[in-house]
Amino acid sequence: MQHNTRLSAIIDHLLRRASSIQTVRLAVGELVSFTDAQIRKQWEESPFAHIPLTIRRVPAQQQCMTCFEKYQPKQGEVSCPQCGSVGAKILVGEEFFLEAS
C-alpha cells in the first residue's frame, strides 16, 4: 500500500512526545486522494494504533479565475457554477495536518 508521507511525518512528530498523547485529530482536505480507510490503515500500522484517531475532512473550496466566484466543487466537477469557466484556483481542500492531540 502507498503510504501518505504527511501522515508518516505526523507520526514521527508524535513519537517524539508520545507520553502525553491520548487522542489525535487530523484535518484532511477533501481533495487529498487518500481515503479515511487508507489513513486509518496506516495509523493502525503505527506505534499509535491503540490511540483513537479522528479524521475531519475539510470541504474543498475553489475560486473561479474568470469571475472570481468562490464555490465548493462537487465530486468530479470542475466548472464554475456561475460562469461555467474551468479555470479555478484551489483555496481549500489539500491540507493534511495535525489539528489536536
CB 85 within 8 A of CB 65: yes
**Least distance in angstroms from the C-beta of 86 to Zn ion:** 9
Q: How large is the C-alpha radius of gyration of the chain?
A: 17
Nearer to Zn ion (CB atom), residue 15 or residue 83: 83
Determine, following the binding rule CB under 5 A, whether residue 10 of this chain makes contact with Zn ion: no
Binding residues for Zn ion, how many (CB under 5 A)? 8
**Least distance in angstroms from the C-beta of 89 to Zn ion:** 11
Report the C-alpha gap between 80 and 72 in whole angstroms: 9
Determine, following the binding rule CB under 5 A, whether residue 82 of this chain makes contact with Zn ion: yes
Strand partners, 90: 62
Determine, following the binding rule CB under 5 A, whether residue 66 of this chain makes contact with Zn ion: yes
| Angle (deg, nearest 10), helices 5-15 and 36-44 | 40
Determine, following the binding rule CB under 5 A, whether residue 67 of this chain makes contact with Zn ion: yes
Q: How many CB atoms lie within 10 A of CB 68?
A: 11
The residue ranges that bind Zn ion (CB under 5 A) are 64, 66-67, 69, 80, 82-83, 85
